[in-house]
Chain A
């Protein structure tokens, strides 16, 4: 059986659509700013997300090493 991925042309078109969607989101909502920046919990949330990523990766690495 031939294993097929998505064709390059379709993939590139999808990536361009993704970038256009990002541009539309920026123009209509985000406008180059930090939409969540006005929230009082913003700094804590940012630290929690970054800390969470690092902890998740460490936990995953330890699990993989001993599994």
Chain B
């Protein structure tokens, strides 16, 4: 009788390594070269900050962490971005797999995706980053952030929704959209 040895799931598959390299390079290049639309200084709309989220969605939390580190390295405030960008990759991976992709109807899923993106931006990412900035003394009084920064994060949320939707719509199989199953 021959027994087949149980196959261990690798720490990272070839696909995940490729995704980490591709999204990591994009995240680094966008921020490193400063390819961002400036609003009121020092606020910018930076597509590089979306890479950890997208990487988490299509590659899982570990890929999200690696891409978050790649995005954090060229930051002007690495003490903030090296911690919080990987965190974005982690929570987006799980929200994508265990919440958004649970909706089988595609039309409903799109609406849930847009609402979730907006809510995560306004109630998770924005408070986290503003809190970190306030700890470093870059923001004077933390509880006032919705009044002073609310407009910026709202604008950023819509920017995020447009970019996310465009990329997911174009690369549905990469994100497991058609099958409604995360590919990791």
Contact = CB atoms under 8 A, between A and B. Distances in A.
Interface of A: 5-6, 8, 11-12, 14-15, 18-19, 22-23, 25-26, 30, 32-37, 42-43, 45-47, 49-50, 53-54, 57-58, 60-61, 64
Contact of A26 (B12, B25, B73): B73
Q: Is the interface of B mostly helix, strand, loop or mixed?
A: helix
Given A12-B12, A14-B21, A61-B169, A22 B37 contact: no
B154 interface: no
B33 to A, nearest CB: 6
B75 A22 contact: no
Interface residues of B, number: 36
A19 B69 contact: yes
Given A26-B32, A47-B37, A54-B163, A8 B73 contact: no
